[in-house]
Chain A
Amino acid sequence: EDQVTQSPEALRLQEGESSSLNCSYTVSGLRGLFWYRQDPGKGPEFLFTLYSAGEEKEKERLKATLTKKESFLHITAPKPEDSATYLCAVQAFTGNQFYFGTGTSLTVIP
């Protein structure tokens, strides 16, 4: 069964304190792994797509990496505006559905 687990569930960081969010997945043939950011009361905002182990993508203070079993979202020197819930999703070759993790709620304190 395809499964996505994110950790930690919640994370509080001081402004400038770098950290990483984890997304572990079990999928029968990974087509793609996706990271999204969601602010309260809004739809998820697309961040990155990763397709193969060893791939990395960067955008401002965020960097996503992928291995055969997990993905990390590294946040370097976060700012309060980075506070949001970060969602990870996987898509298998066997279908087009996205399977989402439960997310990590990030709070960056000034």
Chain B
Amino acid sequence: GAVVSQHPSRVICKSGTSVKIECRSLDFQATTMFWYRQFPKKSLMLMATSNEGSKATYEQGVEKDKFLINHASLTLSTLTVTSAHPEDSSFYICSAGPGLAGLDEQFFGPGTRLTVL
């Protein structure tokens, strides 16, 4: 149990385009999901907390208008990187847990490798 999927696993896009990444909890409902960014050989950097039915909470320094998060249902959160630039190239990972409001164990998706040319 506690499986989280992400789609796509890898995406290459041109500078200036927008990219949407989906995160789904497959066998549980998640009121809260988290979005992380990871640079090579670095740890996970929390970008935002995605709350079902309400606005996401962004960490300091993360541009809300650039990284749009939508948590439309208890099993799906999406991250849209708008007007992507090469510096947005990174490994994006989401997490979710069956606990209330994101408490307790978090299970991670397999990640999405974004490359912006």
A96 touching B43 by the CB < 8 A rule? no
**B interface, how many residues as a size bin?**
20 to 34
Complex CA distance for A34 and B102, rounded to whole angstroms? 14
The interface on chain A, measured as residues whose beta carbon lies within 8 A of the other chain's beta carbons, has a size of 22
Residues from chain A with Cβ under 8 Å of B46 in the complex: 97-100
Closest to A102 in B: B43
State whether A42 and B110 are in contact (beta carbons under 8 Å apart), knowing that A100-B43, A101-B43, A102-B42 are contacts in the complex: yes
The A interface, classified by DSSP as helix, strand, loop or mixed, is strand
State whether A41 and B113 are in contact (beta carbons under 8 Å apart), knowing that A96-B49, A97-B34 are contacts in the complex: yes
Residues from chain A with Cβ under 8 Å of B4 in the complex: 43
What mask results when residues 38 to 49 of chain B are scored 1 for a CB within 8 Å of chain A, else 0?
000111101001
Closest to B4 in A: A43
Complex CA distance for A20 and B115, rounded to whole angstroms? 36
B110 touching A43 by the CB < 8 A rule? yes
Closest to B101 in A: A96
CB contacts under 8 Å to B, within A90-104, are: 91, 96-103
Give the residue of B34, B91, B111 whose beta carbon is less than 8 angstroms from that of A98: B34
Residues from chain A with Cβ under 8 Å of B28 in the complex: none
A49 touching B105 by the CB < 8 A rule? yes
Residues from chain B with Cβ under 8 Å of A103 in the complex: 43
> Does B104 make an interface contact (CB < 8 A)?
yes
A42 touching B105 by the CB < 8 A rule? no
B35 to chain A: closest CB distance in Å? 11
Residues from chain A with Cβ under 8 Å of B84 in the complex: none
> Does A80 make an interface contact (CB < 8 A)?
no
B91 to chain A: closest CB distance in Å? 8
State whether A46 and B105 are in contact (beta carbons under 8 Å apart), knowing that A98-B34, A102-B42 are contacts in the complex: yes
Nearest first, the 6 A-B pairs at minimum CB distance are A43-B108, A96-B102, A102-B43, A100-B44, A44-B108, A43-B111
Q: List 7 A-B contacts (CB under 8 A).
A: A32-B104, A43-B4, A87-B43, A98-B34, A98-B46, A100-B44, A103-B43
